[in-house]
Amino acid sequence: MNVAIFASHNGSDLQAVIDACRKGKLKARVCAVFSNNSDSRALLRAKEANIDSYHVSAKVYGNEYVMNNEILKLLDAHQTDIIFLAGYLKRFGHDIVKKYHNRVFNIHPSLLPKYGGQGMYGITVHQAVVKAQEKISGITIHRVNDEYDRGEIVAQTTVPVLPYDTAEILAARVLEREHEFIVEVIGKIVDGDIPIG
């Protein structure tokens, strides 16, 4: 299964998938990496792993319509089966979601529908969880549609919030679990347990 990954910054989830594929833990390969951020560590990680990578921004292509068309051509050229947004902070193109219906997934660091939606990303999510004195947080993987964090949930896992956690400590605990969980869930997609047809 060919997995295209979109990431805006660090790309540690991307790295977890690259490593799992390399070690044979996943019957999949990362076929291409896309980032809206030319300086992202995600693009560097892709280069280090010899994976084709692309800086895609409306500025580079002139406008979003042209950009999305180019992305579609690249996805096609890489025979993409599924698309994973792993820390991709741009709204994802409607035409791409339409063409890859049911095959675009996003990973979010909370138990959606709680702590999701526009502006809820990065440390903001964990700050809100700590402030609300939740005892449990977690990770959600959902299909992408045109609304932020609102597509069908395909998998969730919980992560404890411990007394005296700061948002930063909780963020690190959740991210560590993400690195396993994204691999587990892609494995379920590969095995057909999460349908993409």
Binding site for ligand GRF (CB under 6 A): 7, 9-14, 86-87, 107-109, 175, 178
Least CB distance to ligand GRF at residue 87 (A): 3
Least CB distance to ligand GRF at residue 130 (A): 15
Which 8-state DSSP code applies to residue 91? Answer: P
Give the phi and the psi of residue 105 in degrees, each rounded to 5.
Answer: -125, 150
Least CB distance to ligand GRF at residue 61 (A): 23
The residue among 49 and 61 lying less far from ligand GRF, judged by its C-beta, is 49
The residue among 28 and 174 lying less far from ligand GRF, judged by its C-beta, is 174
Q: Is 101 a catalytic residue?
A: no
The residue among 57 and 124 lying less far from ligand GRF, judged by its C-beta, is 124
Identify any residues that bridge with 136 across adjacent strands, giving them in sequence order.
160
Look up residue 196 and give its two tokens. 């993409």
* Chain centre distance of CA 143: 10
53 contacts 43 by C-beta, under 8 angstroms: yes
The rounded distance, in Å, linking the Cα atoms of 79 and 3 is 9
Least CB distance to ligand GRF at residue 12 (A): 3
For ligand GRF, the nearest residue by Cβ is: 87
The residue among 10 and 127 lying less far from ligand GRF, judged by its C-beta, is 10
Report angle CA 9, 112, 165 to the nearest 5 degrees: 70
Which 8-state DSSP code applies to residue 162? Answer: P
Q: Single out the catalytic residue among 78, 94, 108, 179.
A: 108
Give the phi and the psi of residue 73 in degrees, each rounded to 5.
Answer: -65, -40
Least CB distance to ligand GRF at residue 42 (A): 6
The residue among 25 and 90 lying less far from ligand GRF, judged by its C-beta, is 90
Strand order in the sheet with 104-108: 53-55, 29-35, 2-6, 82-85, 104-108, 136-143, 153-160
Q: How many residues does the chain have?
A: 197
Active-site residues: which are they? 108
